[in-house]
Structure 1
Amino acid sequence: MSDKHPVTALLQAWRVGEESALEQLTPLVYEELRKRAGYLFSGESAGHTLQPTALVNELYGRLVDVEVDWQDRAHFYALCSRIMRHILVDHAKAGRATKRGGNMLIVSLDETGIVENASEAQHRQTETEDLISLDQALQQLATLDKRKAELVEMQVFGGLSFREMGVVTGLSESTLDRDLRFARAWLRSRLATPSV
């Protein structure tokens, strides 16, 4: 195994059926995933019904059943971004059904792509929207430009850096920056338009 990228080596070993690889992989990626999930909840109230640890645990439950040809660490975290998005949207929809508008994350389309807490978001109402609205807008963007929607998903829900997104997509940093700027502007415009 390469000392440089043990996660990649373990993912590849897990892919070919080495059960011990998953046991070794879990502690290596668990804390990183929990940290990335923590960004989604930074500043949220302690009473929020879904916490980073619960999100990562549910993510693990879904990963076990996924048949993926793991390429490397960056691809793993990109897939985790997509699964976290689905978990959070499902949770938000369930919360909305239980109590219309209650207990939802507020998301921001700022330069970092990181979710803000609700008190910070109140100061930036024009740049924030609830998770379900963002998910719907991302679905619309994906019909127009799937790559840009996937980049937003990787950055916002997975916390992937430009370097990691570059590994996954093969795009240069300047192309990633341009695509993400366009996607954020398009999403802000779409989210600012009231639904009919």
Structure 2
Amino acid sequence: MDPLADLLQRAQQGDAAARERLFAVAYDELRGQARAQLRNSGGRNTLLDTTVLVHESFLRFVQAGQLQGSDRGHFFSYAGRVMRSVIVDFARKRQAERRGGDAEHVPLDTQFAEDVRATDEELIRINDALEALQTVDDRLVKVVEMRFFAGMTEAEVAEALGVADRTVRRDWEKAKLLLTATLR
């Protein structure tokens, strides 16, 4: 059995030592995910850096009282969702602080692709679009979270979702089209 999966199972059963060890074992990979997330947010998040994002996500895991996922792929998919939530919350906070001030107005770039660099406003709009998409097709949202926010490869997403790589490619293309249309 994968050591991470074993630690995850023990942590889900309430073993605090296993939870701490789980994050120690997964820390480097979580940092990689956090770097990808921050890169996709355009690096404009001066309040967040890789370490802060990983630690803030860890705090949310602990506060939630339960970890989700049954294996490595599911765990990192869940971590991607939590990181997305942290980034969007920070973006909302920054936007609220800027409202009414001398905020620089940046036009919204609605091109949704792998190399997108999102502003705070765009991150919030993408999050809102994902929430709307979730009512239509939950798997598409998971694919976007894992590919865009968690920086996972098609093969990693396919493994986590238990589908073929080709299905992930089709879902990714479909999600990009739907999100682009929603963001316009």
Query: Taking structure 2 as the reference length, what is the TM-score of the superposition?
Result: 0.81
Q: Summarize deviations over 1:35-91 as a string: whole Å, max 9, x none.
A: 11112223626x711111111111101111332464111111111111111111111
* 1:187 shift after superposition: 1.1
Percent identity, aligned pairs only, is: 32
In structure 1, the partner of 2:174 is: 182
Relative contact order (alpha carbons < 8 A, sep ≥ 6): 1 or 2 greater? 2
**141, 146, 153: which one pairs with 1:149?**
141
Structure 2 CA distance for partners of 1:69 and 1:85, relative to 1, 3 Å: closer
In the alignment, the residues of structure 2 paired with residue 165 and residue 53 of structure 1 have an alpha-carbon distance, to the nearest angstrom, of 24
In the alignment, the residues of structure 2 paired with residue 59 and residue 28 of structure 1 have an alpha-carbon distance, to the nearest angstrom, of 15
* 1:142 shift after superposition: 1.4
In the alignment, the residues of structure 1 paired with residue 12 and residue 20 of structure 2 have an alpha-carbon distance, to the nearest angstrom, of 13
**118, 127, 152: which one pairs with 1:135?**
127
In structure 2, the partner of 1:34 is: 31
In the alignment, the residues of structure 2 paired with residue 176 and residue 6 of structure 1 have an alpha-carbon distance, to the nearest angstrom, of 27
In structure 1, the partner of 2:112 is: 109
3-state DSSP of counterpart to 2:135: helix
Moved over 4 A (4+): none
In the alignment, the residues of structure 2 paired with residue 20 and residue 187 of structure 1 have an alpha-carbon distance, to the nearest angstrom, of 41
* 1:99 shift after superposition: 0.8
* 1:15 shift after superposition: 2.2
In the alignment, the residues of structure 1 paired with residue 17 and residue 58 of structure 2 have an alpha-carbon distance, to the nearest angstrom, of 16
1:18 matched to 2:10: no
Structure 2 CA distance for partners of 1:85 and 1:114, relative to 1, 3 Å: farther
Q: Any gaps of 5 or more consecutive residues in structure 2?
A: none
Q: How many residues align?
A: 175
1:165 matched to 2:162: no
What's the Cα RMSD here?
2.7
In the alignment, the residues of structure 1 paired with residue 118 and residue 132 of structure 2 have an alpha-carbon distance, to the nearest angstrom, of 25
Structure 2 CA distance for partners of 1:17 and 1:66, relative to 1, 3 Å: closer
Relative to structure 2, which stretch is displaced further, 28-37 or 14-23? 14-23
1:66-85 to 2 correspondences below 5 Å: 66-68=65-67, 70-85=69-84
Query: Taking structure 1 as the reference length, what is the TM-score of the superposition?
Result: 0.77
